Amino acid sequence: METNFWQKELEAIDREALNKLQLKLLKESVQSALKTQFYKTRLQKAGIKSADDIKSLKDLEKIPFTSKDDLREGYPYGFLAVDLDDVVRLHTSSGTTGIPTVIYHTKTDLDNWSDLVARSIVATGASKKDVFQNMMSYGMFTGGLGLHYGAERVGMTVIPAGPGNTKRQMQLMKDFRTTVIHITPSYLLHIGSKLEELGFSLKDFALKKAYCGAEPYSENTRKKLEKLFAIDVYNSYGLSEMNGPGVAFECVYKNGMHTWEDNYIMEIIDPKTGKNLGEEKEGELVFTTLRRHATPLLRYRSRDLAFIYKGLCKCKRTHRRISRITGRSDDMLIVNGVNVFPSQIEEVIMRVPEVGTNYQVYLEKEGALDKLIVKVEIYSKMFKGEITELDRLKLRIIDNLRASIVLTPIVELHEPGSLPVFEGKAKRVVDQRIKI
Ligand code: AMP
Ligand code: ZN
């Protein structure tokens, strides 16, 4: 198989040179982190007063971890390392409780991000000759704009379709001979199930590749999608705190995702002890940004579980590969690509005066898509009232939830005492989505 590169000198850099580069960039990141309100205190407490306190990559361990809660605490400007005049864009994370996390970018930061995405695209064998239909959300969610700018940088013909409206998506794919799409795996499965019903067949399309990410999926789902559409499906991993997509991506060999290690120092730690686990052992991914000027993040705990593959890839990229994301070390749920914490749901429903003391969250599959059902007990006097009153209450709860979690759940109202009672730790979330 032919290997194409976007920035060959960086992608195929030898390990020793990469380590040297990482150390140089880490020192720069620490220096700029020290300009932020948050790290000024946090790093000084850990005895790091300047970049000179970092003498080798091993010294990374002296730096305390940064968590999502830290980012929230620092909202809105606690992690900003440059003058606001130099910031050209900001993104906030999808579906987080109350206060979101915010990441700022300078022009150079966005340029670097686009290069990482361009590298990822080229690593899958795509090029400027391809027509790229981007079916991820544009806006605060980083999936849409992230791939968009990377694809333009490669010179692809970009169709900024965004998600939804399946018939129109297929029409676009047909009319413009789309060859590459970016989409959540569950939406692609959904499209697969609607193809014939909407009057299309595979022969209408010129599709060759799909970049699937934003939510966990299995190797079997990949195989199913590849067969259904007769295409190659590549796994794409990213998180808004590390820009978004373009953190790790599969190359043509599809044997793990290359993490761009000249931009991120990647560690796998034991989520309980914080100890570094090295390669081949599953643990939590921790990232340090190396080239982000506006919002440097040091040892950010992603809560995503994965392991690092040992050995080099046949494509000659030296950047190490991570496995699929196998789970989370917290209780975050991913519902049709959107992150939701159960605590967010609780916060919203418990603010509604009519809501009683018990609730449960159910996750099910409806076709290929996820269905979120929130069952809440309400005080019995409500059940004596008018049906329309109950409907209004239900709509109010749905509206409040939608405003907080950016998803529209199904809400069921139950009489007091009808939902399961837990004497120990409550099992609030019942996830009945079968792993496909
Ligand atoms: P966000 O910050 O909204 O971009 O969401 C990032 C989260 O989405 C990650 O921390 C992962 O939990 C999840 N995610 C993104 N890409 C993948 C992928 N390819 N496989 C599994 N989970 C993913
Ligand atoms: Zn490779």
Report pLDDT digits (tens) over 102-125: 999 999 999 999 999 999 999 999
**When comparing pLDDT for 369 and 318, which is higher?**
318
Lowest mean pLDDT among 242-246, 340-344, 414-418, 419-423: 419-423
**When comparing pLDDT for 337 and 385, which is higher?**
337
Statement to judge: residues 25 and 168 lie in one domain: yes
Tell me the three state secondary structure of residue 352.
Answer: coil
Number of domains in the chain: 2
Q: Is pTM, for the whole model, over 0.85?
A: yes
Pairing of strands 244-250, 257-259: antiparallel
Residue 11 pLDDT class (50, 70, 90 cuts): very high
Contacts of 5 (CB under 8 A, 6+ apart): 11, 12, 119, 122, 123, 317
Residue 413 Cα to ligand 2 midpoint, Å, equals: 51
Q: Which of 276, 310, 329 is the C-terminal boundary of a domain?
A: 329
Report pLDDT digits (tens) over 254-284: 999 999 999 999 999 999 999 999 999 999 9
Residue 433 pLDDT class (50, 70, 90 cuts): confident
* Amino acid at residue number 194: K
Statement to judge: residues 157 and 253 lie in one domain: yes
Residue 3 domain flag: no
Residue 201 Cα to ligand 1 midpoint, Å, equals: 31
Q: Give the number of whichever ligand sits closest to the CA of residue 309.
A: 2
Statement to judge: residues 323 and 349 lie in one domain: no
CATH at residue 198: 3.40.50.12780
Residue 391: how many CB atoms within 10 A of its CB? 11
Residue 368 pLDDT class (50, 70, 90 cuts): confident
What's the whole-number average pLDDT of the chain? 93
Nearest atom, ligand 1, residue 303 CA: 10
Residue 331 pLDDT class (50, 70, 90 cuts): confident
How far apart CA 347 and CA 397 sit, in angstroms, is 12
Residue among 304, 321, 331, 341 whose CB has most ligand 1 atoms within 8 A, to mutate: 304
182 touches 135 (CB < 8 A): yes
> Number of C-alpha atoms within 13 angstroms, CB side, residue 336?
20
Q: Give the number of whichever ligand sits closest to the CA of residue 318.
A: 2
Q: Which of 329, 352, 380 is the C-terminal boundary of a domain?
A: 329
Statement to judge: residues 279 and 387 lie in one domain: no
Mean pLDDT value of segment 297-314: 97
Statement to judge: residues 315 and 388 lie in one domain: no
* Residue 382 pLDDT greater than 80, yes or no: no
